[in-house]
Amino acid sequence: MSSQKKKNFQIEAFKHRVVVDPKYADRTWKILEHAIHEIYNHNASGLSFEELYRNAYNMVLHKFGEKLYSGLVSTMTLHLKQIAASVEASQGSLFLEELNRNWAEHTKALQMIRDILMYMDRTFIPSTRKTPVHELGLNLWRDNIIRASNIQTRLKETLLETVQKERNGEVINRSLMRNIVKMLMDLGPSVYQQDFEKPFLDVSGNFYRSESQQFIECCDCGNYLKKAEKRLNEEIERVSNYLDAQSEVKITNVVEKEMIESQMTRLVHMENSGLVNMIVDDKYDDLGRIYNLFRRVPNGLMLIRDVMNSHIRERGKQLVTDPERVKDPVEFVQCLLDEKAKHDKIVNLAFNSDKTFQNALNSSFEYFINLNVRSPEFISLFVDDKLRRGLKGASEEDVEIILDKVMVLFRYLQEKDVFEKYYKQHLAKRLLSGRSVSEDAERSLILKLKTECGYQFTSKLEGMFTDMKTSHDTMQGFYEAMGRALANGPILSVQVLTTGSWPTQSIPACNLPHEILTVCERFKTYYLGTHNGRRLTWQTNMGSADIKATFSGGKKHELNVSTYQMCVLMLFNNVDQLSYKEIEQAVEIPTVELKRCLQSLACAKGKNVLRKEPMSKDVSENDSFFFNESFSSKLYKVKIGTVAAQKESEPEKQETRQRVEEDRKPQIEAAIVRIMKARRVLDHNNIVAEVTKQLQSRFLANPIVIKKRIESLIEREFLERDREDRKLYRYLA
């Protein structure tokens, strides 16, 4: 660029002549030819731009454009051949440098030449559709240098060698590489692709193929992945630094294919370090890495998901069928919650909270939780434990957290109606014994169940709460009304339970002690006086009592016992010893209950207010019982009642299951009728499918049972079979 010099004032006279003779064209061309030589020989400073421009302008103007153009081509080609020879002759590492230097000079020269010949570029070339000067310069370079037979191969090999050196850890001249690559791109993307990119990708493929073989033999899964990730990042960095951006996707595909896709299965199943081990040991980094690498290859994530799924299902199956675990329901459920939490954390931390993985997790849990038919019962017991004492002193938030986690497990249950049955039983016991930690927590859980399953599911449960409240008010009214008359008698607290809502069994009442009976009758009269058309039955199997007992040495204790236990103990007010048979006759309690009752009074350590002979763990019908004078306890109030909910015994379990099955029959029938009423005519398979779908939220309907119900409905003339097609049913209005 011109410097800030003071300009001289010069006045010169010039003659302007317009001549058309052919010798003129030759002379003019000679001037320009000379100029081009000088430019290539770095002697441009001696030239006058304006003069050259004017000469070119005149040639074109006088229709010698063709001569000018072809002259340009041959002159440039001449120089380029010289350059090619010089580049070929360069030794070893100087090859690229020579090439790069000459390229830089050529581009500079080209620009100058183009500026001088600008007029031709603007006018002659478009009208004759020839290649413009700049592009011409590039093409000539490409054909005479890059594609020269001695240079083409050598260039490719040198470039690939350099990349390989860098992959082996050597430091290379990156800016030189960048310039050469840019040169190839300037010559046209196809030049870059043919002369460099394609061989680059091939060689890289081979390199990574053998490297992956090497690594897989000597590395464990975690380390292999680290190496693969490192190589991948290296390649990306290489492209951004000195290759063309279009190569990024192509080279990463190569690395992904050779290092990841081809070894995918082997990595995942690697002993002691594969996917399963990572999951079991909570290796979040490794898991995150495997997720990020595998998502780049087709089916990578699917492989991870499948392996994870089968692992969880296997593990879960072991958990729920392990006889040791099954002994403690609360522990059992806690284990499930822990498993869920652990795997949730893995999906969230390492797998990017990927929805497909969350779904896979859910389906696996649903699968194995339902493998154990007692899962609904156990979950209810877990909740019972928490609501009776586990959540004591916990903040509202903590309560919500635990209940929400339980709801997650609840959703997995296929037999939700079984859960409902047990939940009702356990809730009843909690309410009646006043053992619930917080009514708010109870209500919160019921609300969650209602949101999940609908009003029907929880209406009876809510009824139970209502009964408790109403009974409280009733008792207040009772004592206000009776007041004086009951001052000296036992204090009664009655809960009036609406039959449909509570899990009651119709067991006949036992024989209550006289004092109790009196006040009970009084209540009955009072209640029936204020409520018409109702019938009350005492549920002696569900009550409890607090009695004051005096032992030897004047020691007094308050005993909290069940109603049955109270009846038995009151017998000892009159005598000190009773045989089993005598007791049985007096109280009329069913055998199983009686045995359990006596067991808890005589055989439990620290609570043996009775003595049994002979001393043994179980109660037999030949035993005798004595009032235990020497009973002692540190506490004044002693709890002996067996009111807490427990895991059911075998026979009890069978009974509950039977009742659940019985309850399902009408539900199935109702569903069948609903469907047939809407569809009028339907074939067997479709009915079964529809019924199953409708009842899915409560339980999994058994096709055999459905079939039986259909037949029963046919008998009762709700449906009929089609005369021709035995598989078709019709609704009878």
115 touches other proteins by CB under 8 A: yes
CA–CA dist 260, 252 (Å, integer): 11
DSSP 399-411: HHHHHHHHHHHHH
**Of 217, 209, 210, 194, whose CA–CA distance to 254 is shortest?**
209
Give the position of tokens 């980094």. Answer: 285
Contact 513, 567 (CB under 8 A): yes
- Mark the segment that binds other proteins (CB under 8 A) among 118-126, 217-225, 554-562, 707-715: 118-126
Q: Which of 31, 78, 118, 297 binds other proteins (CB under 8 A)?
A: 118
730: helix, strand or coil: strand
138-155-83 Cα angle (round to 5) = 50
SS3 state of residue 265: helix
Of 13-21, 26-34, 183-191, 216-224, the segment contacting other proteins by CB under 8 A is 13-21
Judged by beta carbon, residue 37 or residue 727, the one nearer other proteins is 37
Phi, psi of 272 (to 5 degrees): 70, -10
Q: Is 66 in the site for other proteins (CB under 8 A)?
A: no
Q: Near other proteins by CB under 8 A, which window of 12-20, 286-294, 600-608, 680-688? A: 12-20
Nearer to other proteins, 10 or 506 (CB): 10
Choice from 31, 61, 78, 547 touching other proteins (CB under 8 A): 61
Residue closer to other proteins by CB (options 24, 527) is 24
Q: Check binding of 16 to other proteins (CB under 8 A).
A: yes
**Shortest reach from residue 241's CB to other proteins, in Å:** 31
Q: By C-alpha distance, which of 714, 621, 618 is closest to 669?
A: 714
Give the separation between CA 692 and CA 682, rounded to whole angstroms: 15
Taking the complex as a whole, the smallest distance from the CB of residue 61 to other proteins amounts, in Å, to 6
Residue 657's identity, in one-letter code, is: R
Question: Binding other proteins by CB under 8 A: which of 31, 73, 78, 112?
Answer: 112
41 forms part of the interface with other proteins (CB under 8 A): no
Q: Is 44 in the site for other proteins (CB under 8 A)?
A: yes
Task: Draw the binding track, 623-652, toward other proteins (x: CB under 8 A; -: no contact).
Answer: ------------------------------
Fill in the per-residue mask, 119 to 148: x = in contact with other proteins (CB under 8 A), - = not in contact. Answer: x--xx--xx---------------------
Of the residues 26, 30, 43, 49, which one makes contact with other proteins according to CB under 8 A: 49
List phi, psi (to 5°) of 18: -115, 105
Among 44-52, 97-105, 368-376, 658-666, the segment contacting other proteins (CB under 8 A)? 44-52
Angle at 181 between CA 177 and CA 184, to 5 degrees: 145
Provide the minimum distance between the beta carbon of 56 and other proteins in the complex, in angstroms, as a whole number: 11
CB atoms within 10 A of CB 512: 19
Q: Footprint of other proteins on residues 367-406 (CB under 8 A)?
A: none
Instruction: Verify binding: residue 57, other proteins, rule CB under 8 A.
Output: yes
Which candidate, 656, 650, 673, 666, places its Cα nearest to that of 729? Answer: 673
Of 500-559, which residues contact other proteins (CB under 8 A)?
none
Q: Which two tokens stand for residue 690?
A: 């529809």
Whole-number Å distance between alpha carbons of 220 and 216: 7
Per CB under 8 A, 455 contacts other proteins: no
Q: Give me the least distance between CB of 134 and other proteins, in Å please.
A: 13
Q: In angstroms, what is the minimal distance from the CB of 48 to other proteins?
A: 6
Instruction: Give CA–CA dist 566/547, Å, rounded.
Output: 8
> Which is closer to other proteins, CB of 129 or CB of 556?
129
Name the residue type at position 501. S
Instruction: Decide whether 129 or 723 has the Cβ nearer to other proteins.
Output: 129
Per-residue CA distances from 91 to 157, 171, 174 (Å)? 14, 20, 20
Which one of the spans 5-13, 180-188, 230-238, 559-567 is the region binding other proteins (CB under 8 A)? 5-13
Q: Which long-range contacts (CB under 8 A, 24 or more apart) does 176-179 make?
A: 176/96, 176/97, 176/100, 177/96, 177/242, 178/241, 178/242, 179/100, 179/103, 179/104
> How many residues sit in the footprint of other proteins (CB under 8 A)?
34
Q: Which is nearer to other proteins, 47 or 536 (CB)?
A: 47
Q: Which of helix, strand or coil describes residue 126?
A: helix
Contacting other proteins (CB under 8 A), which of 48, 93, 175, 622? 48
Give me the least distance between CB of 31 and other proteins, in Å please: 15
Q: Which stretch binds other proteins (CB under 8 A): 113-121, 417-425, 463-471, 611-619?
A: 113-121
* Binding piece for other proteins, criterion CB under 8 A, among 114-122, 580-588, 608-616, 679-687: 114-122
- DSSP conformation class of 606: T
Residues 640 and 541 sit within 8 Å (Cβ to Cβ): no
Which of residues 53 and 626 has its CB atom nearest to other proteins in the complex? Answer: 53
> Which has the closest alpha carbon to 339: 409, 394, 389, 292?
409
For the beta carbon of residue 183, count every other beta carbon within 10 angstroms: 22
Q: Which residues contact 675 (CB under 8 A, 6 or more apart)?
A: 682, 687, 690, 691, 694
CB of 62 to other proteins, least distance (A): 9
Cα 77–chain centre separation: 66
- Positions that interact with other proteins (CB under 8 A): 1-2, 4-5, 7-16, 44-45, 47-51, 53-54, 57, 61, 112, 115-116, 118-119, 122-123, 126-127
